[in-house]
């Protein structure tokens, strides 16, 4: 596999999360990291202190083993145009953008090998999840090397499933935060002070996340908390009365999936 620096194009929320994860795990040597960003970002500045190069001259991109594309989907062509000609012909392109198809990326990057990755922002703490699709074996291996230390990896042979992965894992953390917010509001409604309500709701979410990393099915994890005839079981029955929780989650995933498909159109 080609050796050389990793180039990150775009350092917004997800790009910054990847930088933080690489620095935390040591999986990308800062001295082998090039960050291209139009504005100052705290994560990029931390990487710079450790030896990363920020917005170097284009000729320093020629030796890159891969370019990680982390810009907004609507901007990728304009953002990529200045750097395409500076990359070697065998530099792999690793896209973390929702909805942009591998075929379009291959055309835009003049036939270079493509891997698509859908990571969550928890890669910043080495606790993310990432779906990977790549037809090119070396691009797939390279993507694994970048994200395996930061996330649980799911390989998808069918690129069409990347949109579904985006709707579930990419958007899922926001759904869970929204639920936590609703839980905190409900806690206030039954008399708890706002700060106490938020602390309890956040703690419940953190406890659930910690237990989800262990062994056992989700059903068994629910059973560990919800004793038959107890308070939790009563709450769960109310939460999903008439299948309302299942329908709401299914609607959220379907809406996100449709939007991902719109972006790829």
Domain 6-160, CATH number (from 3.20.20.140, 1.10.1840.10, 3.40.50.720, 3.40.50.300): 3.40.50.720
Strand, helix or coil at 192?
coil
Q: 172-264 belongs to which homologous superfamily?
A: ProC C-terminal domain-like (1.10.3730.10)
Which pLDDT score is estimated for 99?
A: 87
With beta carbons less than 8 A apart as the criterion, state whether 65 and 122 touch.
no
Q: SS3 of 252, please? A: helix
Residues making up the annotated binding site for NADP(+) are 9-14, 37, 70-73
This prediction has a pTM of 0.88
Report, in this order, helix, strand and coil percent for the chain, each rounded to 5.
Answer: 55, 15, 30
Please tell me the predicted confidence (pLDDT) of residue 216: 82
Query: What is the Cα–Cα distance from 15 to 93, expressed in whole angstroms?
Result: 15
Give the orientation angle of helix 194-212 with respect to helix 218-225, to 10 degrees.
Answer: 140
Instruction: Please report, in range form, the residues annotated as the binding site.
Output: 9-14, 37, 70-73
pLDDT given at position 244: 96
- Return d(Cα 86, Cα 54) in angstroms, integer: 16
Question: What are the structure tokens assigned to 206, written together?
Answer: 């953190």
Q: Rounded to 5 degrees, what angle do the CA atoms 259, 21, 53 make? A: 100
Task: Please name the residues in contact with 211: beta carbons below 8 A apart, sequence gap of 6 or more.
Answer: 221, 224
pLDDT (0 to 100) of residue 265: 62
φ, ψ of residue 151 in degrees (nearest 5): -160, 160
Query: How far is the C-alpha of 51 from the C-alpha of 81, rounded, in Å?
Result: 26
* The predicted structure's pLDDT at residue 1: 56
- Tens of pLDDT along the chain (265 residues) come to 557 899 999 999 999 999 999 999 999 999 999 999 999 999 999 999 999 999 999 999 999 999 999 999 999 999 999 999 999 999 999 999 988 999 999 999 999 999 999 999 999 999 999 999 999 999 999 999 999 999 999 999 999 999 999 999 889 999 999 999 999 999 999 999 999 999 999 999 999 988 887 678 999 999 999 999 999 999 999 999 999 999 999 999 999 999 888 876 6
Contact 234, 240 (CB under 8 A): no
What is the per-residue pLDDT for 6? 97
The structure tokens 């082998």 sit at 32
Domain locations along the chain: 6-160, 172-264
Q: Are the CB atoms for 102 and 133 separated by under 8 Å?
A: yes
């Amino acid at each position: 596999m080609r050796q050389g620096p990793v180039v990150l194009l775009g350092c917004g929320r997800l790009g910054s999360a990847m930088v933080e994860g690489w620095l935390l795990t040591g999986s990308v040597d800062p001295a082998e990291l090039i960050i291209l960003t139009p504005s100052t970002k705290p994560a990029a500045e931390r990487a710079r202190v450790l030896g990363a190069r920020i917005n170097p001259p284009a000729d320093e991109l020629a030796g890159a083993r891969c370019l990680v594309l982390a810009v907004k989907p609507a901007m990728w062509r304009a953002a990529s145009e200045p750097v395409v000609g500076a990359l070697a012909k065998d530099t792999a392109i690793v896209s973390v953008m929702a909805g942009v198809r591998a075929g379009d990326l291959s055309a835009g990057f003049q036939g270079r090998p493509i891997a698509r990755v859908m990571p969550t922002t928890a890669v910043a703490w080495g606790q993310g999840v990432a779906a990977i699709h790549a037809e090119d074996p070396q691009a797939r291996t390279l993507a694994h090397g970048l994200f395996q230390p930061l996330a649980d990896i799911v390989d998808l042979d069918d690129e069409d499933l990347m949109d579904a992965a985006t709707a579930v894992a990419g958007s899922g953390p926001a759904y869970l935060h929204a639920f936590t917010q609703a839980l905190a509001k409900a806690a206030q409604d039954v008399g708890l002070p706002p700060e106490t309500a938020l602390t309890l709701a956040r703690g419940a979410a953190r406890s659930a996340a910690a237990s989800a990393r262990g062994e056992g099915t989700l059903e068994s994890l629910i059973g560990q908390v919800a004793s038959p005839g107890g308070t939790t079981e009563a709450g769960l029955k109310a939460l999903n009365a008439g299948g309302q929780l299942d329908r709401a989650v299914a609607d959220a995933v379907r809406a996100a999936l449709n939007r991902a498909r719109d972006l790829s159109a």
